[in-house]
Every structure is written in C-alpha cells, then in structure tokens.
Structure 1
C-alpha cells in the first residue's frame, strides 16, 4: 500500500509541475489472430491447377515464375524482350576438313542408295511407265518394218509373220516387258504387314485373319518371302483342284494350331506402296497385253483402250485413298469431340483449396459446466 501511495503522489506532482492537455482515450489495437494469419487460403495450394505461362515460354524463360501484372503491362505496351547472348561457334580448320574427307566418303558409300536424291514415287512411276510404253511402241514398229515389200508398216502388220524368222530380239524384250508388268502387279497385291490381336478372343470378320501359335517376341513381325507365299498358294490351288475332281474333302486354307497350344489372332493388312500403285495404273498387265495385240486395224482403238484403263485405275485409286483419309479424319474428330466433351473435363477438373478453421476458445464442451 505504501508503494502504491508513493507512486500516486509522484504522478500528481508530475502533473502539477508540467500541465499538459489531456489526450483522448484510444481503442486498443486488436491482436492479430494466429488462425486467420495462417489460413489455408493464403498458403500455396497443392491441388489448384495453375495455367501454363505462355508469356514466359514465348520469352524463352520457361523456368521463371509467372509474370506479374506490371510485366504483362510492359509486354502489352510493346517492350522488347531481353536480347539473348550470342554464342560462339567454333569452326573447323582446313586440316580437320581435309582429314574428314575419307570418313565422309565411306559414310556416303554406306548410305547408298538412300542418299541419292530421287524424285517422288509418283513421278518415278510415270517416268518408268512411260519408258516401258515407248519401248513397246518401238518393238511394234520394228516388227512392222520387218514385213517384206511394205511401204507402210502399220498397214501391213498382219503379214509380219511372212518371210522372216519368228524369233528375234523383239520376242525376249516383249516377254520381259510382260513379265515386268505381272511382277509389279504381283508385288503390289502381295505386300502385307502382320498384326497380332492379343486381347481379341473372338475371330474378327476379315478373310485375312487367322489364329497362330502365340509367341512372346518383341521383334517386329516379318511376313514370309514372296516366293514362299506364291509357292504355298500354288500348292494349295493344285491340292484343292485334284481333291475337288476326285471328290475328296477340300483342304483348309489356314488350319488353326492344336488346342493345347496358346494361340493368338493374326491379321494380314495390305500395305500397297505409292510407286507400285502408280506404276500399276500407268503400265499394268492389261497394257502389255494390249500392246501385244495391237495391229494395223486396231492400233487406234487399242491406244484409246489403254488410256481409258489407266484413267479408270487412277480414278479408283485416287477416290479410294480419299475415302481412307476422310474416314481417318472422321474417326479422329469423333475421338476429339468425345475427349473434349467427356474425358478432359473429368480428367483434369479445376480445383481450389478452401479451408475452415476455428480457435480453441470457440470450442464449447457441453459436458463441462
């Protein structure tokens, strides 16, 4: 009590000695709440989707922080980006260039003929097909000129078998041209690629599908050689013909593997090449046979027929390729619409963290008085 009275007397003496105006009472400043200052809304989110910073990517700074409003304003006003430092490129000396010439020559030899600048497959097919037509035309002129006592070879071609030997250089060349057209057609129609449907148990509705023994091999499937497939087809046709004539049971084209062996469905997909397809349109077996049947009375009609055959094959091929591309576009657009409308909104939904927190003093326990 004595100390309190002494303090009061000291304060009164100080007030009387230095009279100052009394200050107005002030409301005490509220103390900052720890729960509010550390709310989850102010902390970095771990699930909110942050938009990709395209401005940083365009400014070649993909690892920088998202741009602020001032930086975006500067870029919108036309401020140029920070110029990049030019790097120093070391050039090879003349000695190094000369010493690398043998290695470059060996590399080009190893890459031959892939490094030869060839034209497009369609252009190459037109060149090869036109050359074959020209050779066949020269053969027919040569055969017509061998006719004796003929001023106009095309008019007297029906007598080309009189007065000279039937075998000359034109016969093997003609056979080579016909064989080339047939081989190109055979290669075009037998070019396939193998696919195995491991998750498809029921057979697909395709004549090129068959069941084979399942083999776990990560190497790409390679179809058998063309000669093997042609010989197999010929043997199957011969076996089917004599069995049909004798009344026996016909053989099965692709017999399935034994029941105890794991099997998988294999699909042979036809993959025609661009060069072979265009060459088939320009110089097909029909063209070579029409050249062999060309005579003095039908050479105009035969040439017109060859033109119509080429135009017909080219149009069918063009429309079929266009149909395949249109189907691919439609399928891709269907998947795109499905993903955009159903998959993407549910796969990456936009989320934000929202937290609710209470202080310990606000918790009321009803079991306590």
Structure 2
C-alpha cells in the first residue's frame, strides 16, 4: 500500500505518468469496438424486459414447495404457453413470472399450476401487471433518463464549459450503451431495479469525470501565458494526478457489488439481486474507464481546435525544438576531440637571447663590458 501511495504522489507531482491523451486513438478504437458489440447484442437479442414493463403475472407458491425450479418452469410453460422465469426464494417458495398474459388467462394458469404443483389454489399469491401500466412505467423511465442528461449538460456547461459538458455526455452515452448491451448479451431481466442501477452508475461516472475536469480547470487558468505545456499536456497531467484516486474508489465500490452479483446472485441463488447488481457492476467499471480514457481526451481534442490553443501549441513545440537543438549542439561540442595536445609544447624557463651590440650603452661609465 505504501508503494501505491508513493506512486500516487509521484503521479500527482508529474514525476511519472502515462500518456493517456497521446494514445487517445487507441482508447477511442477500443470504445467504438465495445460499443458496436453492445449495439449488435441489442439488435440481435434485445432486452429481456420484466413484467413491470411489458405486463404479466407473478405467482408465488406457499413455503417449502417440494418442486424443483426446472420442473416448475415446465409446468408454467405448459399452463401458459409463454416463456417463464422461476426463482426459488429463501423460504423455499417459488416465484413464477409469466409475461404477456391478461387477467382472464392468469386465473386459468393459477388453477392449472395449483393442480400440477399439488397445492391449494387459494394459497398461491398472484400479482397482475397490465401492459398499459408497464408501458407507462417504461415511458417514465426514459423521461427520467432524458431529464437527467439535460440537467447534467446544463450544470457542466455552467460550472466548467460546453466542451466538458459534451465530453461528459458522450461518456454517459458510452456507459449506458455498454451496460444495456451486456444486459442483452447476458439475458438478465430488466426491472425497475435495473433502471435504479443505471441512474446510480451514471452519477458515479460523473463523479470521476468531474474530479478530473476540476483539476484540469484549475491547472489551465493562465495556460496561454506560458510556453512549457500544451493543453493536451496539462490534461494528461490531470488524469495522472487523479488516477490512483479513481482506481481506489472504483475498486472499493466494485467489491460489495461483486459480492451481490457473484455470491448473492450466483452462489446463493438470489436471482432478484442480478437485475440491479449487474447494472451496477458493469456501469461502475465502464464509468471509471470512460472518465479516464474517453471524457478528458475528448475535451483535449475539442480544446486543441481553438485558435489560442493552436498558437500555444506552436510556441511550445518551437521552444522544445530549440531546446533540443541546443542540447544536440552542446553534446556535439562535448564529443569534439581537443587538438591542443598535438601542438608544440610551450617553452618554459629562460631562453638564450642574442647579445645586443648596444649592451652597456647609457651607463654612467660609458664603457662596455
């Protein structure tokens, strides 16, 4: 843990880092591939909508019914002629869900199930959902999601700027598409709990994105007054500075959700936990990915199109090119051999001078020596 903390501190100070923005085309390609797979899954398999959205009936048998889940599914399909979902509850009762039937058919199915399961029909609890009510719930869910998106864009445009709002919206659509596509591929039932899970993970995804955006806004206040960093460079530093924090919060959030999905829904057989736990698990992972690899690099792409940022990039690159040229020149001078060692050695000490004929003149005696 201490090593991870030291790494986080070094990332925050900019001593080390990964070029997320520089490799953004790789992340864009990965996201496009995953999104296309999710869309194909939605188009081919479609969503397994629960009875809350398409109408139907839910029959709950008495406690400790001595019938297996597979056998109950066979009985329910024979009685209704529709696909059924049977879940064994903790008290030993069975929850039999049949979609697309009306009230009249539900009464007949209930009597048929009572005979097959060998229980009293009065002890089977039946909850009916009309198709109009399910359609109404579905419309309300879509309206709530649309209102959420609009409010998010407005808030981010006011708090930050419109480019960040657009990038956050793209990241949210990316997360929703991937989550719903995985639902279609896995075949889990879509219930109101699924919608709650989607709205929850959208908020979490925005949390990570806003943390990076806030750091980016703070570091780019007077960006045009310097010539050391481009906007993409500072965006990359913002991602690296909050990277460990995003990873830690995501892992901590994923652990309990993974317990619900894999242990509660898989090992213990609490299938009703799958609808909300799968959306949370996939959405949390997709949200952390999009905040790092999609939202911030997209903001950098949009900002680099501005004339001021283009001019800044030219100045920064020119300064870096000049610094690189000066460094190469200095290295070249350092590697040039010194030829002064091959020159003739300097004369040290007294030298023999020729005798001057005027030597001794001007002395008081006037005589030569």
TM over 0.5: no
More contact order relative to length (CA 8 Å, sep ≥ 6): 1
Larger radius of gyration: 1
Superposition TM-score, scaled by structure 1 size: 0.25
